Amino acid sequence: MSDAPWDRKTFTANLQKVGASAYHDKHPFHVLMNSGGLGREALQTWVANRFYYQQNIPIKDAAILCNCPVRAVRRLWIHRIIDHDGTKDDEGGIGAWLRLGEACGLKRAELLAGRQVLPGVRFAVDAYVNFARTQPWPIAIASSLTELFAPDLMSKRLEAFERFYSWIEPRGLEYFRSRLTQARRDSGEALELTLTYCATQEAQEAAVSALQFKCDLLWVMLDSIHAVVR
């Protein structure tokens, strides 16, 4: 392979290929979810375990900020922490996911305590946070590019929840609605940073590998959940 970096179009295409082949929208658990094939307990298990991931997203983003010496990048990235943590009370994505849990019949205290979090899910999420802490910040940003593929999945998920899982209170679907627009904005920002700061062949290959790692991680989380509910 040549040591010359890919042009932006080729680099973007190589990142997109990862999502086309490895994004977790194709996982059997998501196929079941989006076709109405999950029972109440299975859906509750997914919500409780995915909450551990939601809790750790701002921690991951804080790790990226800690490693980034570029002021302009920090200014751009910091809104992600606020988007998930909010600034008070139940604002932000974490608050919205707590409301989803309550709308599914889960107790807030149980979600916050993490008693239902499966070992495989905990291991995968912790590995993601550790990746963000230990990798160069542009590579950690590249791992977040699963957001490129999230809006389509989120749209299908919202439609499925409204159609098949009417027992969930509608207010609990706020998180999915907000991510329809947030994920597009966030992925656009992350893609531009990746294309700009991964300027060598080595960095570009590392970025593609980071995105594959994130896809694998999301797949493993669903493997763990699917194994206990089927």
* Spans of all domains in the chain: 8-229
Report the mean per-residue pLDDT for the chain. 96
Count CB-CB contacts under 10 A for residue 223: 17
pLDDT above 70: percentage of residues in the chain:
99
Name the CA radius of gyration of the chain, rounded.
18
Q: Give me the pLDDT at residue 230, please.
A: 76
Q: Give me the pLDDT at residue 90, please.
A: 87
For 3, 24, 81, 173, 220, the CA distances from 37, given in Å and listed in that order, are 48, 17, 34, 18, 20
Would you place residue 56 in the very low, low, confident or very high pLDDT band (cuts 50, 70, 90)?
very high
Q: Give me the pLDDT at residue 3, please.
A: 77
65-123: pLDDT as tens digits:
999 999 999 999 999 999 999 999 889 999 999 999 999 999 999 999 999 999 999 99
Rounded to 10 deg, the angle between the 40-67 and 201-229 helix axes is 160
Asked if residue 2 has pLDDT above 60, the reply is no
Show the tokens assigned to 2.
């040549």
One-letter amino acid at 196 equals: T
Would you place residue 155 in the very low, low, confident or very high pLDDT band (cuts 50, 70, 90)?
very high
The third-level CATH classification (topology) of the domain covering 8-229 is: Heme Oxygenase; Chain A (1.20.910)
Count of residues making up the chain:
230
Of 48, 97, 25, the closest CA to residue 228 belongs to 48
Model confidence, pTM: 0.95
Show the tokens assigned to 173.
């679907």
- Provide mean pLDDT across the span 115-137: 98
Q: Give me the pLDDT at residue 1, please.
A: 44
Q: Which residue has the higher pLDDT, 51 or 2?
A: 51
Show the tokens assigned to 10.
């080729």
- Contact by Cβ (8 Å): 46, 33: yes
The secondary structure of residue 98, as a DSSP letter, is H
